């Protein structure tokens, strides 16, 4: 059953219809095989880019769609409902475009943004390091100014699209001054000295490549610095709230997909002479799943509307990420339960949904970090 949506304009309704059509015709036929074999679907991102779905929340003057987050996130949710790896990829691509959009010069934006927003160039985002995940200020990767260039050295961990992307938005240290010594760089994929480890062998999201990116005397022109030297960490933090909303939307879609699969099965499958959905014990499990999906959606949309109206929304973004991903974990686990033994086999997609949900409680700030952010807001006097 498709999600019930109230959309602000007729064109946003058409946009959701377009997203559902592309999801049904381009994503659904590919998802099972790609997730099974760990194949990164680059061509899918090209299709999404051509349809304009990668540029929705950006200003029209850079080729963007001028759409509010309220609409963009629902598009992302529809993608996530069919293929979480692609939903995550779209969200990461948006995150990797953000520093240039918000802190780049007009010249930098004119030069790079149009290809990024059209999906011609796919992005990756390099913030975490092996020992600096939740605490990015502990990063060690260095960028040293050398004449008209910067020379980058270090290793960035857990990079989505690592080895597949066309550009990398990299945070690296330009001085030893802790949080104020980090800078942001635009690093094209063909930069000599950019190397990639073998992709991680993950529990889920096999269609999304995750790899460590190594910078070995990687030299980039000095005009590839985004913002000022030392501004990197505040640029990274500024992008996090929007990124969290993206993951909240993808997690909501994932949970909706799991709910739909569970309901379809429960209407078909009979036990004791009637469909199992007509047994109250199971029906109530499904009702709780539906309530969890709808409340996750309402929570991320409430945060998106605050953002769209220009209000502070950091606390709400963390709440949305926390609620949507915890709910997705619960809903996908229950979906396996509804399908019983069948749910535990790879003949049905729900076991995959359950594996995919787990990482959503971990990346874009673990759910413990979300609680930290929320509680720090509460403690402010």
Partner 1 sequence: MNIVVCVKQVPDTESPRKLKSDDNTLDRAAADGVINELDEYAIEEALLLKEAHGGEVTVLTMGPDKATDSIRKALAMGADKAVHLVDDALAGSDALGTSYAIQQVLGRTGFDLVILGAESTDARTGMLAAMLAERLGVPQLSLANKVEIDGSSITVQRITDYGYDKVEASLPAVVSVVEKINEPRYPSFKGIMAAKKKPVEKLGVADAGIDADKVGLAGAATEVVDFADAPPREKGQIVTDEGDGGAKIAEFLASKKFV
Confirm or reject binding of residue 217 to partner 1 (CB under 8 A). no
Measured in whole angstroms, how far is the alpha carbon of residue 355 from the centre of its chain?
A: 16
Q: Which is nearer to partner 1, 66 or 146 (CB)?
A: 66
Backbone Cα Rg of the chain: 21
Catalytic, out of 77, 129, 356, 364: 364
Q: 10, 29, 281, 341: which one contacts partner 1 (CB under 8 A)? A: 10
- Min dist. Cβ of residue 106 to partner 1 (A): 23
- Min dist. Cβ of residue 105 to partner 1 (A): 26
Q: Which of 320, 331, 309 is nearest to 261 (CA)?
A: 331
Strand partners, 186: 169
Q: Which is nearer to partner 1, 116 or 225 (CB)?
A: 116
- Min dist. Cβ of residue 305 to partner 1 (A): 21
Classify 119 in phi/psi space as left (phi over 0), alpha (psi -120 to 50) or beta: left
- 13-72 residues in contact with partner 1 (CB under 8 A) are 14-15, 17-18, 21-22, 47, 50-53, 55-56, 65
Q: Which is nearer to partner 1, 10 or 29 (CB)?
A: 10
Q: Which is nearer to partner 1, 50 or 270 (CB)?
A: 50
Q: 218, 173 in Cβ contact below 8 A?
A: no
- Min dist. Cβ of residue 262 to partner 1 (A): 20
Q: Which of these ranges, 8-16, 35-43, 186-194, 309-317, lies near partner 1 under the rule CB under 8 A?
A: 8-16
Q: 31, 43 in Cβ contact below 8 A?
A: no
- 141-200 residues in contact with partner 1 (CB under 8 A) are none
70 has catalytic annotation: no
- Min dist. Cβ of residue 117 to partner 1 (A): 11
Q: Which is nearer to partner 1, 51 or 144 (CB)?
A: 51
Q: Which is nearer to partner 1, 64 or 136 (CB)?
A: 64
Tell me the number of residues near partner 1 by CB under 8 A. Answer: 16
> What are the residues binding partner 1 (CB under 8 A)?
10-11, 14-15, 17-18, 21-22, 47, 50-53, 55-56, 65
- Residues annotated as catalytic are 364
């Amino acid at each position: 059953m498709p999600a019930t949506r109230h959309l602000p304009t007729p064109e946003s309704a058409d946009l959701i219809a377009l997203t559902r059509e592309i999801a049904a015709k381009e994503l659904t036929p590919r998802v099972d095989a790609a997730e099974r074999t760990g194949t990164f679907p680059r061509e899918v991102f090209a299709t999404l880019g051509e349809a304009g779905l990668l540029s929705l929340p950006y200003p029209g003057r850079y080729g963007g769609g001028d759409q509010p987050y309220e609409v963009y996130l629902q598009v992302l949710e529809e993608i996530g409902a069919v293929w979480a790896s692609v939903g995550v990829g779209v969200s990461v691509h948006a995150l990797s475009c953000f520093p240039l959009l918000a802190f780049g010069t007009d010249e930098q934006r004119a030069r790079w943004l149009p290809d990024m927003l059209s999906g011609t160039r796919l992005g990756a985002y390099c913030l975490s390091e092996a020992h600096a995940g939740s605490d990015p200020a502990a990063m060690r990767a260095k960028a040293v100014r050398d004449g008209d260039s910067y020379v980058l050295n270090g290793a960035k961990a857990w990079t989505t699209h690592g080895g597949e992307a066309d550009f990398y938005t990299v945070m690296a240290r330009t001085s030893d001054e802790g949080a104020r010594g980090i800078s942001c760089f635009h690093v094209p994929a063909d930069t000599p000295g950019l190397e990639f480890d073998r992709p991680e062998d993950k529990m889920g999201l096999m269609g999304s490549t995750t790899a460590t990116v190594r910078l070995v005397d990687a030299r980039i022109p000095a005009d590839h610095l985004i913002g000022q030297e030392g501004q990197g960490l505040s640029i990274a933090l500024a992008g996090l709230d929007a990124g969290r909303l993206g993951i909240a939307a993808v997690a909501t879609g994932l949970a909706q997909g799991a709910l739909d699969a569970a309901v379809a099965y429960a209407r078909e499958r009979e036990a004791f002479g009637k469909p199992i959905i007509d047994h109250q014990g199971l029906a109530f499990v499904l009702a709780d799943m539906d309530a969890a999906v709808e409340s996750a959606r309402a929570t991320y949309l409430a945060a998106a509307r605050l953002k769209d109206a220009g209000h502070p929304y950091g606390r709400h973004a963390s709440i949305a990420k926390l609620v949507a991903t915890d709910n997705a974990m619960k809903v996908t686990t229950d979906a396996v339960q509804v399908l019983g033994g069948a749910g535990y086999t790879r003949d049905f997609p729900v076991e995959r949904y359950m594996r995919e949900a787990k990482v959503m409680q971990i990346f874009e700030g673990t759910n413990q970090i979300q609680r930290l952010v929320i509680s720090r807001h509460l403690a402010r006097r």
